[in-house]
């Protein structure tokens, strides 16, 4: 197999048995992830992201199709794969509460055969990078979510994996720590050539910032796969507007003629923000008139660049809730 | 199987044994609990024997049983139930995706557990000896050591096997351990010579503690042989066979558990 | 009598809640484990020890043992159950804080949970006694007016279970999960000191006397007297059943006052130190 490809799936499918039938969590997935790439999986809850990661990390068998990591078959060549990968999930509670941060990390390093001396040196290095050196001797039952997740990430990279799987690595982290994690991921990728990261996230800006390529997945199917810029190009013929409106009493805007993909967000002071796309630039005056006649006063408006969110709405057909 | 893989697994065994040994020394309340709770039973059963006018060796039987019960509790609550808790905490999937055999994880837990528990068992034995002023008469030290270590080997082999079975059975681990705890005290003759159970004794010989404890009693007390179930040599043979069988079954069920986990996608899920 | 009505109403709802939580006996396997396998095995260890040593003699003691064992089961389950509820609900279900802030008082909530345990234990105790009757030829030789004394003694003794239960629950409000072995070992200590499986004076000196001041001792030995004609603790041997009853009632009253104060005190401390929703599982 081509050495520049680190993850490859061929018509990969996975079903789960459930009451009264089966659930198709993944359907005919075909992806190629290159070495040196941060590859993002973006999709709503239950889309199948974790299922895909579990298959690739040898925790789950495919129901149909094939999957290869570093050229090895996930079904049969598990040991070969396991030697070279690692995984970190958001909100995981790995380790033993009675051990300290340093001891836990050391324990996990032993499962990868790292000599104790080297392991200790590396652990101290990463603890410092993540600003955890003060908590190195704290029992992990006493850690906050953020500290715990930093430790989890150190656990994941300690074995120096060639492919790292990150399942919502910034879940539940505050802005500051999430930023630390993101910038670390970028540095780590540059540190050594040929590393690969497959990452799932619910945060579109995170995917936009980190990923070389993104697959949008929903209902077990891949709906689009491209670079962030490429994805945004899907919307290049669409004219996008964002309009801020004042409204008399609490009127509801249920429809807006000439527009597609229109969404309403309430703002402060009873104002609302309306986003929409139009095909014909000339219709914008008619739209403003329509709004005025229905009791909405224009505060501001701007034509805007498409974001990943727009792409997401375009493809998945529903709004993406950042706080889910 | 290359050398690197073997070294990695040896390291993993040590790595997994570490928290066991540490936990034994770090939480004082656990240590006290693990000594006090068995001791209360030992005192209760010993005093009952005294009240009934039993010979001193019977008090010794009860004390020895209480001391060995520490291993049974350790096997039930920290071995058999352990993979269930590892699953709940998310450790199990990290163990599965590590490039080592799960057998190493279980071996590490066993070794750590044995070391930690030996201290507690010794404490029960010493305090019990002191309270009831027991007389030991050492019959044969080689056989004694052999019986003791073979008992532990077979017992922890059983624990390793149960660990996978608990997951495969799919019931809450604590219910299963509760289910085994007292009934095994009864059928393995933890507090009285198993000889008195008659034919049931053969059936309960499947539990390594039954023959192990019987052997230890024969080798440590004057009256031991009088109340012995089988001859010590036969018991040693049984323990060897049990060790081999449980070790093989433990490996088999671990493989099966991992396969089921990957196939059904269930066993690594935190809350089903 | 609005207060009593309200208490009964609250009790009913917390009993119902407790019953729901404890009623895993509707699951056949769990019923088998907790109501049959465990209690019967423990009872059988004792019975075997008796039979091995006595070799057929001294069998008149067996009924005493069986009654002691069946009643001790209540002590172990109700008392330990109420205490453990505090830790379990605090740290496993994490519901204790909601109960604390709900109008059902902690006092009633624990009574309800304890009562559910009480009823379930009755099944096990009954099975032990039936078993003794059928297989071990255990026969009751009750005193003449047993039908008056039995229900009264059962009732008064049961009350003391709950009173002592509040004591250990109160302790558990203040300690961590790791410390809970203190209350776990309570059942074991009670087994030793209340003369359930051997007379209290089998212990030398002071240890053989403390039992007198534990209501359960009087309860168990009183029940023996009512059902078998005599008890086995020398202290009560010549005491009339009426006197034992009065002694039990007096101990109940004294303990109730002390423990009521202690329980409220420990709730107060727990609230002050934020222990109601502490998680010490680790
Ligand atoms: N072990 C399982 N048994 C049965 N169904 C499962 C199992 N694991 C996942 N599913 C189902 O498969 C679908 C995909 O789940 P998956 O966890 O892969 O989604 P996800 O994209 O990771 O979602 P989220 O963003 O919420 O993490 C869901 O409908 C889920 O309910
Ligand atoms: Mg997921």
3-state secondary structure B150-166: HHHHHHHHHHHHHHHHH
> What is the rounded average pLDDT of the residues C100-109?
72
The answer as to whether B269 is a domain residue is no
> Is residue B111 very low, low, confident or very high in pLDDT (cuts 50, 70, 90)?
very high
B170 contact residues in C (CB cutoff 8 A): none
Query: Which two three-digit tokens encode residue C22?
Result: 């404890």
Express each pLDDT in A279-290 by its tens digit.
777 888 888 888
Asked if pLDDT for residue B239 goes beyond 60, the answer is yes
The answer as to whether B35 is a domain residue is yes
Express each pLDDT in C48-100 by its tens digit.
998 898 876 656 788 999 999 999 999 999 988 888 888 877 766 666 777 66
Q: Which residue do the tokens 């799932």 mark? A: A200
Asked if pLDDT for residue B271 goes beyond 70, the answer is no
Express each pLDDT in A156-194 by its tens digit.
999 999 999 999 999 989 999 999 999 999 999 999 999
The answer as to whether B173 is a domain residue is yes
**DSSP calls for B64-108:** HHHHHHHHHHHHIIIIITHHHHHHHHTHHHHHHTSSS-HHHHHHH
Ligand 1 close to Cβ of residue A51 (< 6 A): yes
> Is residue A267 very low, low, confident or very high in pLDDT (cuts 50, 70, 90)?
confident
Express each pLDDT in B53-92 by its tens digit.
999 999 999 999 999 999 999 999 999 999 998 998 889 9
Asked if pLDDT for residue A321 goes beyond 50, the answer is no
Q: Which residue do the tokens 């058999």 mark? A: B80
User: How much distance in Å is there from the Cα of A45 to the middle of ligand 2?
Assistant: 7
Beta-carbon separation of C281 and A98 below 8 A = no
| Ranges A228-232, B32-36, B82-86, C73-77: which has the least confidence | B32-36
User: How much distance in Å is there from the Cα of C250 to the middle of ligand 1?
Assistant: 62
Higher per-residue confidence, C253 vs A229: C253
pLDDT attached to residue C23: 65
Asked if pLDDT for residue A323 goes beyond 60, the answer is no
Could you say which of B43, B181, B186 has the minimum Cβ distance to residue C44?
B186
pLDDT attached to residue A277: 82
Express each pLDDT in C209-235 by its tens digit.
999 999 999 999 999 999 998 888 888
Q: Does C281 touch chain A (CB under 8 A)?
A: yes
Secondary structure (3-state) at A291? helix
Domain count, chain B: 1
**DSSP calls for A151-210:** HHHHHHHHT--SEEEEESTTTT--HHHHHHHHHHHHHHHHHSTT-EEEEEES-HHHHHHH
B193 contact residues in C (CB cutoff 8 A): 52
Q: What is the mean pLDDT of chain B?
A: 92
Beta-carbon separation of B15 and A85 below 8 A = no
Subunits with 3+ Cβ pairs within 8 Å of C are A, B
Asked if pLDDT for residue B208 goes beyond 60, the answer is yes
Asked if pLDDT for residue B115 goes beyond 60, the answer is yes
> What is the rounded average pLDDT of the residues B176-189?
93
> What is the rounded average pLDDT of the residues B247-265?
94
Cα–Cα distances (Å) from A240 to A155, A216, A319, B154, C95, in that order, read: 44, 21, 16, 72, 50
Asked if pLDDT for residue C184 goes beyond 80, the answer is no
The answer as to whether B271 is a domain residue is no
> What is the rounded average pLDDT of the residues B17-45?
84
pLDDT attached to residue A249: 66
The answer as to whether B272 is a domain residue is no
Phi, psi torsion values for C232, nearest 5 degrees: -130, 0
Ligand 1 close to Cβ of residue B270 (< 6 A): no
Asked if pLDDT for residue B45 goes beyond 60, the answer is yes
pLDDT attached to residue A250: 67
Domain that holds residue B132: 3-264
Secondary structure (3-state) at B227? coil
Share of chain C above pLDDT 70, in %: 88
Q: Which residue do the tokens 């590859």 mark? A: A39
Phi, psi torsion values for C161, nearest 5 degrees: -55, -45
The answer as to whether B175 is a domain residue is yes
pLDDT attached to residue A319: 53
Asked if pLDDT for residue A91 goes beyond 60, the answer is yes
> What is the rounded average pLDDT of the residues B18-33?
79
> What is the rounded average pLDDT of the residues B203-222?
96
The answer as to whether B171 is a domain residue is yes
Query: Beta A72-73 vs A64-69: how paired, if at all?
Result: antiparallel
Q: Is the separation of the CB atoms in C75 and C161 below 8 Å? A: yes
Share of chain A above pLDDT 90, in %: 60
Ligand 1 close to Cβ of residue A93 (< 6 A): no
Q: What is the mean pLDDT of chain A?
A: 89
C281 contact residues in A (CB cutoff 8 A): 97, 141
Subunits with 3+ Cβ pairs within 8 Å of B are A, C
Treating both helix axes as pointing N-terminal to C-terminal, what angle do C146-174 and C80-87 enclose, rounded to 10 degrees?
A: 30
> Is residue C282 very low, low, confident or very high in pLDDT (cuts 50, 70, 90)?
very low
* ipTM topping 0.85: yes
Q: What element of type H or E holds C64?
A: helix C61-74
Q: How many CB atoms lie within 10 A of CB C112?
A: 24
The answer as to whether B34 is a domain residue is yes
């Amino acid at each position: 197999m081509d050495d520049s490809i680190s993850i490859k799936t061929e018509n990969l499918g996975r079903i789960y048995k459930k009451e009264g039938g089966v659930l198709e969590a993944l359907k005919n997935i075909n992806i190629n992830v290159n070495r040196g790439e941060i590859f993002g999986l973006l999709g709503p809850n239950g889309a199948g992201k974790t299922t895909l990661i579990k298959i690739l990390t040898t925790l789950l068998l495919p129901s149909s199709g094939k999957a290869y990591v570093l050229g090895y078959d996930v079904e049969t060549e598990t040991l070969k794969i396991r030697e070279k990968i690692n995984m970190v999930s958001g909100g995981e509670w790995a380790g033993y509460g009675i051990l300290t941060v340093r001891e836990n990390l050391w324990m996990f390093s032993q499962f990868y055969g790292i000599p104790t001396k080297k392991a200790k040196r590396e652990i101290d290095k990463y603890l410092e990078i993540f600003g955890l050196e003060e908590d190195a001797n704290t029992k992990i039952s006493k850690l906050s979510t953020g500290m715990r997740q930093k430790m989890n990430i150190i656990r994941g990279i300690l074995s120096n994996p060639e492919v790292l799987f990150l399942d919502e690595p910034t879940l539940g982290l505050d802005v500051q720590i999430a930023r630390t994690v993101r910038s670390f991921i970028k540095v780590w990728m540059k540190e050594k050539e040929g590393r690969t990261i497959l990452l799932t996230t619910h945060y579109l800006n995170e995917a936009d910032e980190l990923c070389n390529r993104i697959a949008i997945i929903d209902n077990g199917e891949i709906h689009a796969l491209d670079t962030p810029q490429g994805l945004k190009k899907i919307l290049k013929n669409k004219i996008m507007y964002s309009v801020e409106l004042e409204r008399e009493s609490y009127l509801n805007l249920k429809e807006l003629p000439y527009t597609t993909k229109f969404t309403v967000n309430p703002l402060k002071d009873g104002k609302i923000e309306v986003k929409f796309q139009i095909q014909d630039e000339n219709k914008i005056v008619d739209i403003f008139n329509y709004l005025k006649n229905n009791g909405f006063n224009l505060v501001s408006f701007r034509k805007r660049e498409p974001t990943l969110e727009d792409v997401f709405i375009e493809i998945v057909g529903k709004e993406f809730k950042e706080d889910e | 199987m290359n050398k690197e893989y073997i070294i990695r697994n040896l390291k993993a065994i040590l790595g997994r044994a570490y928290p066991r040994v540490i936990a034994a020394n770090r939480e004082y309340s656990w240590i006290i609990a693990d000594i006090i709770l068995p001791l209360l039973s030992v005192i209760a059963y010993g005093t009952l024997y005294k009240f009934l006018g039993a010979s001193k060796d019977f008090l010794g039987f009860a004390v020895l049983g209480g001391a060995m019960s520490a291993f049974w509790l350790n096997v039930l609550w920290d071995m058999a139930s352990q993979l269930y808790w590892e699953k709940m905490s998310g450790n199990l999937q990290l163990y599965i995706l590590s490039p080592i055999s799960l057998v190493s994880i279980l071996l590490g837990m066993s070794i750590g557990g044995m070391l930690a528990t030996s201290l507690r068992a010794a404490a029960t034995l010493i305090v019990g000896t002191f309270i009831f002023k027991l007389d030991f008469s050492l019959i044969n030290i080689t056989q004694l050591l052999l019986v003791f270590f073979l008992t532990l080997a077979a017992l922890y082999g059983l624990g390793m096997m149960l660990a996978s079975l608990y997951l495969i059975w799919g019931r809450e681990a604590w219910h299963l351990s509760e289910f085994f705890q007292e009934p095994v005290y009864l059928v393995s003759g933890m507090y009285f010579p198993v000889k008195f159970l008659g034919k049931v004794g053969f059936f309960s010989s499947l539990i390594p503690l039954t023959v192990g404890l019987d052997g230890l009693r024969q080798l440590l007390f004057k009256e031991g042989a009088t109340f012995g179930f089988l001859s010590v040599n036969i018991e040693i043979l049984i323990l060897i066979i049990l060790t081999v069988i449980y070790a093989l079954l433990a490996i088999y069920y671990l493989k099966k558990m991992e396969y089921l986990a990957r196939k059904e996608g269930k066993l690594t899920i935190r809350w089903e | 009598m609005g207060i009593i009505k309200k208490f009964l109403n609250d009790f009913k709802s917390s009993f119902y809640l407790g019953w729901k939580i404890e009623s895993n006996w509707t699951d056949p396997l769990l019923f088998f484990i907790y109501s049959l396998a465990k209690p019967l095995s423990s009872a059988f260890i004792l019975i075997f020890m008796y039979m091995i040593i006595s070799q057929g003699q001294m069998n008149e003691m067996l009924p005493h043992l069986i009654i002691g064992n069946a009643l001790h089961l209540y002590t172990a389950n109700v008392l330990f159950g109420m205490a453990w509820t505090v830790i379990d609900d605090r740290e496993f279900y994490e519901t204790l804080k909601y109960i604390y802030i709900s109008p059902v008082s902690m006092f009633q909530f624990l009574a309800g949970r304890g009562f559910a345990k009480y009823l379930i234990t009755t099944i096990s105790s009954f099975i032990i006694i039936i078993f003794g009757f059928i297989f071990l030829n255990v026969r009751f030789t009750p005193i003449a007016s047993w039908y008056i004394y039995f229900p009264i003694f059962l009732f008064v003794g049961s009350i003391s279970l709950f009173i002592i239960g509040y004591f250990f629950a109160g302790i558990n409000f203040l300690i961590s999960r790791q410390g809970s072995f203190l209350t776990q070992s309570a059942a074991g200590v009670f087994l030793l000191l209340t003369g359930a499986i051997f007379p209290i004076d089998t212990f030398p000196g002071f240890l053989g006397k403390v039992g007198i001041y534990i209501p359960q001792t009087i309860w168990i030995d009183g029940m023996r007297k009512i059902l078998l004609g005599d008890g086995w603790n020398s202290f009560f041997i010549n005491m009339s059943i009426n006197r034992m009853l009065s002694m039990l009632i007096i101990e109940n009253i004294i303990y109730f006052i002390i423990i009521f104060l202690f329980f409220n005190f420990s709730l107060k401390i727990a609230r002050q130190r934020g222990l109601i929703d502490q998680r010490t599982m680790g």
